[in-house]
């Protein structure tokens, strides 16, 4: 019985989000880790697949992500994002590190810190 409880606990922990700032949340679906816009009750609209580092301020979310094994930098315009938005309306990128550094200064994007 203990083994079953431990396995269930590990499963629940493994499925829990690793970053959350409502309405944004990291979730897993079919083994893919995604930063998405939460609609509540477990429903999401995906924004960026395979995020590695995430940082946020009042206006933007900065993300270093590796979708399809190609790592790049992205940012989300939180001020203008909404649940009916299309991905490409408020998600910008991919950018190289140099390009993203220029955008950090220009727009006041939150700086990413490698954990």
pLDDT digits (tens, 9 = 90+) for 71-95: 999 999 999 999 888 878 899 999 9
69 has a pLDDT exceeding 90? no
What is the per-residue pLDDT for 14? 41
DSSP string, 45-104: EEEEESEEEEEE-SSEEEEEE-GGG--EEEEEETTT--TT--HHHHEEEEE-HHHHHHHH
Gap between the Cα atoms of 111 and 53, Å rounded: 10
What is the per-residue pLDDT for 18? 83
The model's confidence at residue 7, banded by pLDDT at 50, 70 and 90, is very low
Q: For residue 73, give the nearest of 51, 95, 54 by alpha carbon.
A: 95
Residue 23, exposed/middle/buried by CB under 10 A (0-12, 13-18, 19+)?
A: middle
Backbone phi and psi for residue 33, each to the nearest 5 degrees, phi listed first: -85, 130
Long-range Cβ contacts of 13-21 (<8 Å, 24+ apart): 19/51, 19/54, 21/56, 21/61
Query: pTM of the prediction?
Result: 0.81
């Amino acid at each position: 019985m203990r083994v079953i409880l431990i396995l269930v606990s590990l499963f629940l922990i493994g499925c829990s989000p690793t970053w959350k700032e409502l309405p944004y949340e990291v979730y897993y679906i079919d083994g893919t880790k995604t930063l998405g816009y939460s609609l509540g009750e477990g429903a999401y609209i995906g924004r960026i697949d395979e995020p590695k580092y995430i940082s946020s301020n009042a206006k933007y979310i900065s993300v270093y992500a590796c979708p399809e094994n190609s790592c790049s930098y992205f940012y989300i315009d939180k001020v203008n994002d909404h649940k009916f938005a299309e991905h490409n309306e408020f998600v910008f990128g991919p950018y190289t590190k140099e390009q993203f550094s220029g955008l950090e200064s220009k727009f006041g994007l939150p700086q990413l810190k490698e954990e």
